[in-house]
Chain A
């Protein structure tokens, strides 16, 4: 028997003028970001998947049918966990008893995540006997995440878990989320409207608008689409995973190797050789040269092949997609430069990368 991995979700519902109509087939592991403006239906979709919002449709998670035409499992019979946007701890229970609430309801044989493991993953040791009202916003959300994990779910749903937190708490909690992404073998659906969070966490992305899916696919390829379905405008650019290959201690630089080339980054002494990082290169930070100019200040000159040239948001600029090995890049150039250099798909050029940001 073949079991289809991943999440197949097809939903249709409407209230008032709003209509949700989606048909998605999402990967069986890693973080899928549901991205879009508020009111686009991403939270509604998450609630439909959880069974909190009744909707017509079908849902299967890793081969198990949770909903189809004739029947729909009630929420408490779905092996999922849900982390809500705002504080959702039980105010009458201590942190320990909040964590135990779901944990106790899972048969021992089904428990994949141990109590102590979840506590240490989210750094909760010293908080176990506190009441929720005595916790900071970031601590509460960490408890909520640990409580969700302790049900050993087959699917983790997170609805803007960081949006109610201040910048400092966001920074504090991010590494915990990254740990989860790397340690859990289950699909995580992460609702967000923050490009920074998506850039850091997501492997796969679903862009929604007005109750519909406008674009979806693996993060790297989808962000590198010249038609820019995400409407990032000035923030358009690509994300890639890289490994620190070498450190140049004299000049405080380090070399990030990616599939198809390398980039030099400023080394602030927090990186180690062999470390995996995720970097972002914005389209506006890349310019193109026809030959390898040696006398210039740009550190990063990467050979690449022009893949596609497309119109941009304004007629004055063009979006050029380049491939360095298997890694796509986007460059935003003035249309005049494209014309003057007579750039053509298939042409070998040099990318001058003015700035690279480490996002993870």
Chain B
């Protein structure tokens, strides 16, 4: 596998794993945010939205410190025998999860909030347990939300650069993702290779967003046939 394809593969792997893990973590979190009346709802919402406004370098900087040998998380991972996370693929996954969290939670939260509470009450009177109600009412009705969340998370992870550079560096096959590879090519004045990758990214992003919008138009609950 050539170094370019290695970068492509690494990027897709990172985005895929991040999306999968974020859907698992983000779903209960979004459900809680959509339904809870607890006072901590607003602070948690603000915390989750932080990556939207912070420069990625700020996030990367603190992650580097926290996961480093003197950081809280770093000491923990070392004690668990996992070594240190910065400059590893696993470290990139952890950073991407934090960086892309709002892109998973917000679409899910919005679609959970539009589900009529009455339908869940109806399901309960029809003998569905809370878990059953989630899988048979919430999930199907929130399908457009899940689709948006998955696509946005995936695409956002593919496009991340600053955090990767801070926490992952530039190790081929381990942390050198597409955006970093493009940066390398430009620095080396190899505009041909940079074009090749950059145009690919552009086309990829456009196709992803286009399919998201057209699928969402068709997937509105109640219009499904």
Contacts and interface: CB of A to CB of B under 8 A. Distances in A.
A92 B220 CA distance: 9
Contact of A81 (B125, B137, B223): B125
Interface in A69-113: 74-78, 80-82, 84, 86, 88, 90-92, 101-102, 105-106
Contacts of A59: none
Contact of B128 (A76, A81, A84): A76
A145 to B, nearest CB: 12
Contact of B222 (A77, A81, A84, A132): A132
Contacts of B224: 92
A101 B126 contact: yes
A92 B128 contact: no
A42 interface: no
B125 A131 contact: no
Nearest to B143: A92
Interface in A131-167: 131-133, 147-148, 151
A122 interface: no
A191 interface: no
A52 interface: yes
B124 A75 contact: yes
Contacts of A50: 125
Contacts of B40: none
A66 B209 CA distance: 51
Contacts of B122: 82, 84, 88, 90
B121 A75 contact: yes
B119 interface: yes
B127 A102 contact: yes
Contacts of B136: 101
Interface string B110-145: 000000001101111111111010001100110000
A82 B125 contact: yes
B114 to A, nearest CB: 11
Nearest to A103: B126
A102 B123 CA distance: 8
Contacts of B125: 50, 52, 75-76, 78, 80-82, 102, 148, 151
A84 B118 contact: yes
Contacts of A74: 124, 129
Contacts of B126: 76, 81, 101-102, 105, 147-148, 151
Contacts of A80: 125
B121 A91 contact: no
Contact of B141 (A82, A84, A88, A91): A91
A148 B124 CA distance: 11
A84 B117 CA distance: 13
B221 A105 contact: no
A154 to B, nearest CB: 12
Contacts of B124: 52, 74-76
Given A82-B122, A84-B122, A101-B136, A91 B222 contact: yes
Interface string B147-165: 0000000000000000000
A148 B125 CA distance: 8
B169 to A, nearest CB: 47
Contacts of B38: none
Interface string B29-42: 00000000000000
B221 to A, nearest CB: 5
Contact of A91 (B127, B129, B221): B221
B119 A90 contact: yes
A301 to B, nearest CB: 51
B129 A76 contact: yes
B123 A101 contact: yes
Interface in A286-335: none
Nearest to A106: B127
A76 B136 CA distance: 14
B139 to A, nearest CB: 10
A61 to B, nearest CB: 14
Contacts of A90: 119, 122-123, 137
Given A76-B127, A80-B125, A84-B118, 7 more contacts: A91-B222, A92-B224, A101-B123, A101-B128, A102-B126, A102-B127, A148-B125
Interface of A: 50, 52, 74-78, 80-82, 84, 86, 88, 90-92, 101-102, 105-106, 131-133, 147-148, 151
Query: Can you list the 6 inter-chain pairs with the closest CB atoms, starting with the nearest?
Result: A102-B126, A91-B222, A75-B124, A105-B127, A82-B125, A88-B122
25 contacts: A52-B121, A74-B124, A75-B124, A75-B125, A76-B127, A76-B129, A78-B125, A80-B125, A84-B122, A86-B118, A90-B122, A90-B123, A91-B141, A92-B224, A101-B123, A101-B136, A102-B126, A105-B126, A131-B222, A131-B225, A133-B222, A133-B223, A151-B125, A151-B126, A151-B127
